[in-house]
């Protein structure tokens, strides 16, 4: 048993009696709690006030000069108790109440030990200790003082507890008053002290319940707080029922005890003859003080619950913003009647519950809206990418109650390339989800335009900076050429990716990074370094957000190591591996969501490069142009495409000539062989002009206007990709497989 709790129970029971048995019982109860916590009232007063001997004869014989000096009329005094220093400051009136001279008091509670009998000190000390421990904001109690002349004086104290931001009590400020006349009838004294203790207990329960409701985020949380063993059941209620108003009807969200559900009452109208309907309709509480009254007032309901042994009930309207949002019913089995004080407490509690419920309903509405918005913003399906297997997962924090700005995306790009994006917008609300959706769209657009990974990230940062928002985002963009296995990474404040090798082992990939999106534009630091990695067939990239590896109170590196170890021992099937990695968040209780993207290069049908050649052709450089033509002729024959060599050479020459004639810069010619479902030879010609080529009719002389017509007729497929610094005109020819 907690020592403070045991002592508090004594104070609430017979600790206020003057009989020897009561005093002896209180002393034993205090003695049973032998450990006093440092910094509490137990440590400050128990060993002093209660440890002093009873009033000595010299105290009694000292005369009544003190009373004659100050007179019998004692007003209200005050005290200020610094718990950290153990210093208690008393004003003059408080000193007169204790019958202590100013020069006799040194500012320590020990100086008052001669005035408070040990049993009274024990009871008061236990009461204050319990208030400090259970988080109460105040306490009140009656206790007896023995004056110098031996006469008893009843005193009432009320203290207000000050706590720091961590809830630790550090100061008590309170009042003292003479209650002798108020409690002059000693026969009524035990009952009066018991009532005081009961009021304190009820007030503490209301305060504790209100404090617990402050942390409730959903309607289910509110119901769980009220049904908790430390909740409303301690007010004497055997159980509760609760209904919420929805579309003019009352929906039952919390049932009473087992067997109490009345068929047909899951949804009830406001005008039906039920107590819950009545309090919603009238917005006034209904206190049913006996079983007979219940049966007479609600004949439709009583036959269904008569077997439960209910003797009374309190139905409270839940009112928020001047309208009824529901009703709460408290059911009692061994209680009749509701005193005025108890009614007031229950009405106040109903108001607190209503505010918590409305806050919870607003939260659930916002959460549903954010979840719907986020699901709409995330890709509905992941496109199939030749040469790669992909798995994605998203998991909300706190079992779906929080919605954040985590996202993933897969962007198919020309030339056997693919872009993989993972990111996290700051915050967990609708706004974060909206910003996430916009960022995903612009990143996809910039990547599809052909910009380099660094340019894609820089432009996305500038876009976020120009939005009307104070949010920033972390992001990792990986562009993989599946034909060569080359992956380019750009990181904006995000966590590093992981790489799983073909033997199952997993390691961290250090990626040079820049500032998060939005911040880099704000501080003018838009240069993002690029890190390159060669991804072999069968290897897997793991991209994820920090919600997958961060755990409250743990180091981020530990989380990364745990994820890598889990991947190393996980299944080889990519979808099963994604499920297992996401399960790392189960039971963690964090407040962050998590996204995961796995990309594995296929071992069998991955487009594999049969060769790659590149030539730079400067303007007005006939030798470079001749070298490019020679390179094309030799490569076509070496790669086994002799049957189409004339077509390929003609088209490549046409693309190079157009680039040199219609732009002011040079051209870069790239040839490569791609093997997949068929074998293809690809020709790419890059230039620095953003103007796109267009087909047109040949001129009268027949010399110009035939270039793109030739490309369209001779190539199996062709196209134009915008690049960050210009464009790339490409074409592909299906060629026979090599022997």
Decide if pLDDT at 613 tops 80.
Answer: no
Decide if pLDDT at 384 tops 50.
Answer: yes
| Per-residue pLDDT at 161 | 92
The token duo for 67 is: 């009373």
Q: How many CA atoms lie within 13 A of 379 on its CB side?
A: 20
Is residue 25 very low, low, confident or very high in pLDDT (cuts 50, 70, 90)? Answer: very low
Rounded mean pLDDT of 642-652? 88
Task: Report the alpha-carbon distance of residue 541 to residue 600 in Å, rounded.
Answer: 6
| Per-residue pLDDT at 117 | 84
| Per-residue pLDDT at 674 | 78
Rounded mean pLDDT of 535-555? 86
Is residue 248 very low, low, confident or very high in pLDDT (cuts 50, 70, 90)? Answer: confident
Is 83:44 a contact under the CB 8 Å cutoff? yes
Task: Report the alpha-carbon distance of residue 440 to residue 32 in Å, rounded.
Answer: 65
| Per-residue pLDDT at 63 | 35
Closest CA to 528 of 497, 498, 495, 493: 493
CA angle 279, 280, 284 (to 5 degrees): 40
Rounded mean pLDDT of 102-128? 83
Decide if pLDDT at 387 tops 70.
Answer: yes
Helices (H), 80-180: 92-98, 118-133
Decide if pLDDT at 24 tops 70.
Answer: no
Decide if pLDDT at 643 tops 60.
Answer: yes
- Burial code (b: 16+ CB inside 10 Å, e: under 16) for 366-388 equals ebeebbebbeebbeeeeeebbbb
The predicted-structure confidence for 93-108, as pLDDT tens digits, reads as follows 989 888 888 888 888 8
Decide if pLDDT at 429 tops 80.
Answer: no
Task: Report the alpha-carbon distance of residue 278 to residue 491 in Å, rounded.
Answer: 61
Task: Report the alpha-carbon distance of residue 411 to residue 608 in Å, rounded.
Answer: 20
Decide if pLDDT at 499 tops 90.
Answer: yes
Is 501:533 a contact under the CB 8 Å cutoff? no
Maximum mean pLDDT: which of 366-370, 609-613, 670-674: 670-674
Three-state SS annotation for 178-244: ECCCCCCCHHHHHHHHHHHHHHHHHHHHHHHHHHHHCCCCCHHHHHHHHHCCCCHHHHCCCEEEEEE
Is 239:256 a contact under the CB 8 Å cutoff? yes
Task: Report the alpha-carbon distance of residue 644 to residue 628 in Å, rounded.
Answer: 18
| Per-residue pLDDT at 258 | 62
Is 691:726 a contact under the CB 8 Å cutoff? no
Beta-bridge partners for 89: 80
Rounded mean pLDDT of 132-155? 84
**How many residues appear in the chain?**
739
Among 40-49, 74-83, 487-496, the least confident range: 40-49
Is residue 495 very low, low, confident or very high in pLDDT (cuts 50, 70, 90)? Answer: very high
The predicted-structure confidence for 512-541, as pLDDT tens digits, reads as follows 999 999 999 889 888 899 888 888 889 999
The predicted-structure confidence for 84-96, as pLDDT tens digits, reads as follows 888 999 998 989 8
Rounded mean pLDDT of 206-215? 67
Is residue 34 very low, low, confident or very high in pLDDT (cuts 50, 70, 90)? Answer: very low
| Per-residue pLDDT at 11 | 31
| Per-residue pLDDT at 290 | 92
| Per-residue pLDDT at 184 | 60
Decide: residue 187, CB within 10 A, 0-12 exposed, 13-18 middle, 19+ buried.
exposed
Read off φ and ψ for residue 477, nearest 5 degrees: -120, 125
Among 224-228, 417-421, 568-572, the least confident range: 224-228
Within 8 A by CB and 6+ apart from 118, the residues are 23, 27, 49, 50, 51, 52, 54
How many other CB atoms are there within 10 angstroms of residue 195's CB atom? 14
The pLDDT > 90 percentage for the chain reads: 19
Is residue 148 very low, low, confident or very high in pLDDT (cuts 50, 70, 90)? Answer: confident
Q: Is the dihedral of CA 109, 114, 118, 120 positive or negative?
A: negative
Decide if pLDDT at 399 tops 50.
Answer: no
Looking up tokens 């002592």, which residue turns up?
7
Contacts 24+ apart (CB under 8 A), 214-221: 214/356, 216/356, 216/359, 216/360, 217/360, 217/363, 217/401, 218/360, 218/363, 218/364, 218/401, 219/244, 219/253, 219/357, 219/360, 219/361, 219/364, 221/360
The more confident residue out of 217 and 271 is 271
| Per-residue pLDDT at 70 | 37
Entry pTM: 0.47
Is 329:241 a contact under the CB 8 Å cutoff? yes
Decide: residue 687, CB within 10 A, 0-12 exposed, 13-18 middle, 19+ buried.
buried
Task: Report the alpha-carbon distance of residue 22 to residue 268 in Å, rounded.
Answer: 53
Closest CA to 585 of 563, 613, 556: 563
Task: Report the alpha-carbon distance of residue 653 to residue 715 in Å, rounded.
Answer: 13
Is 275:289 a contact under the CB 8 Å cutoff? no
Task: Share the mean pLDDT of the chain.
Answer: 77
The predicted-structure confidence for 694-733, as pLDDT tens digits, reads as follows 665 555 554 445 678 888 889 998 888 776 667 888 899 9
Among 56-60, 275-279, 450-454, the least confident range: 56-60
Rounded mean pLDDT of 255-264? 67
| Per-residue pLDDT at 2 | 38
| Per-residue pLDDT at 620 | 75
The pLDDT > 70 percentage for the chain reads: 75
The more confident residue out of 122 and 655 is 655
| Per-residue pLDDT at 528 | 92
Task: Report the alpha-carbon distance of residue 221 to residue 364 in Å, rounded.
Answer: 11
Is residue 189 very low, low, confident or very high in pLDDT (cuts 50, 70, 90)? Answer: low
543 dihedral zone (left: phi>0; alpha: psi -120 to 50; beta) = beta
């Amino acid at each position: 048993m907690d020592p403070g709790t045991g002592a508090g129970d004594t104070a609430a029971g017979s600790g206020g009696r003057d009989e020897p048995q009561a005093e002896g019982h209180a002393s034993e109860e205090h003695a049973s709690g032998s450990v006093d916590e440092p910094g509490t009232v137990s440590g400050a007063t128990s060993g002093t006030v209660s440890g002093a001997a009873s009033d000595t004869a010299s105290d009694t014989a000292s005369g009544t000069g003190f009373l004659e000096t100050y007179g019998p009329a004692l007003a209200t005094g005050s005290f200020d108790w610094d718990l950290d220093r153990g210093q208690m400051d008393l004003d003059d009136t408080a000193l007169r109440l204790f019958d202590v001279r100013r020069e006799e008091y040194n500012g320590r509670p020990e100086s008052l030990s001669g005035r408070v009998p040990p049993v009274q000190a024990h009871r008061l000390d236990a009461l204050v200790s319990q208030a400090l421990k259970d988080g109460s904001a105040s306490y009140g109690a009656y206790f007896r003082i023995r004056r110098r002349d031996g006469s008893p004086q009843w005193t009432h104290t009320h203290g207000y507890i000050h706590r720091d931001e961590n809830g630790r009590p550090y100061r008590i400020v309170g009042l003292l008053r003479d209650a002798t006349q108020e409690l002059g009838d000693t026969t009524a004294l035990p009952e009066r002290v018991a009532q005081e203790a009961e009021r304190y207990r009820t007030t503490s329960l209301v305060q504790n319940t209100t404090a617990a409701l402050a942390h409730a985020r959903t309607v289910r949380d509110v119901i769980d707080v009220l049904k908790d063993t430390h909740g409303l059941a301690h007010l004497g209620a055997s159980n509760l029922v609760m209904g919420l108003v929805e579309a003019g009807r009352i929906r039952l969200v919390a049932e009473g005890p087992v067997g109490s559900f009345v068929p047909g009452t899951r949804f009830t109208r406001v005008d039906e003859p039920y107590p819950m309907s009545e309090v919603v309709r009238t917005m006034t509480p209904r206190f049913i003080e006996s079983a007979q009254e219940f049966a007479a007032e609600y004949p439709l309901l009583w036959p269904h619950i008569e077997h439960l042994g209910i003797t009374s009930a309190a139905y409270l309207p839940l009112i928020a913003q001047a309208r009824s949002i529901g009703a709460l019913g408290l059911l009692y089995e061994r209680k009749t009647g509701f005193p005025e004080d108890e009614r007031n407490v229950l009405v106040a509690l109903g108001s607190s519950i209503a505010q918590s419920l409305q806050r919870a309903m607003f939260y659930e509405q916002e959460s549903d809206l954010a979840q719907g918005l986020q699901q709409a913003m995330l890709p509905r399906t992941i496109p199939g990418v030749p040469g790669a297997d992909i798995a994605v997962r998203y998991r909300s924090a706190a079992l779906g109650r929080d919605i954040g700005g985590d996202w993933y995306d897969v962007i198919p790009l020309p030339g056997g390339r693919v872009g993989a994006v993972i990111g996290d917008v700051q915050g967990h609300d609708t706004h974060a989800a909206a910003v996430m959706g916009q960022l995903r769209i612009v990143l996809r657009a910039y990547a599809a335009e052909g910009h380099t990974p660094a340019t894609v990230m820089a432009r996305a940062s500038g876009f976020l900076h120009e939005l009307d928002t104070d949010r920033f985002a972390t992001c990792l963009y990986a562009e993989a050429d599946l034909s060569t296995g080359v992956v380019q990474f750009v990181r904006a404040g995000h966590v590093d990716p992981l790489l799983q090798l073909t033997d199952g082992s997993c390691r961290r990939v250090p990626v040079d990074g820049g500032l998060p999106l939005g911040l880099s534009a704000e501080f003018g630091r838009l240069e993002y370094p690029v890190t390159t990695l060669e991804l072999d067939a069968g290897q897997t990239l793991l991209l994820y957000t920090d919600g997958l590896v961060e755990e409250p109170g743990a180091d981020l590196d530990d989380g990364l190591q745990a994820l890598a170890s889990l991947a190393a021992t996980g299944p080889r099937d990519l979808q099963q591996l994604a499920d297992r990695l996401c399960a790392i968040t189960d039971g963690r209780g964090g407040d962050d969501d998590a996204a995961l993207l796995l990309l594995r290069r296929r071992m069998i049908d991955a487009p594999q490069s049969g060769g790659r050649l590149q030539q730079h052709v400067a303007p007005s450089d006939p030798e470079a142009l001749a070298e490019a033509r020679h390179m094309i002729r030799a490569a076509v024959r070496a790669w086994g495409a002799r049957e189409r060599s004339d077509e390929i050479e003609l088209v490549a020459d046409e693309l190079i000539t157009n680039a040199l004639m219609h732009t002011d810069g040079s051209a870069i010619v790239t040839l490569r062989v791609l093997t997949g479902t068929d074998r293809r030879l690809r020709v790419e010609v890059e230039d620095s002009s953003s103007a796109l080529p267009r087909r047109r009719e040949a001129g009268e002389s027949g010399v110009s206007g035939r270039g793109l017509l030739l490309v369209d007729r001779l190539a199996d497929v062709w196209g134009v990709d915008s690049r960050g610094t210009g464009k790339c005109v490409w074409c592909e020819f299906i060629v026979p497989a090599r022997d």
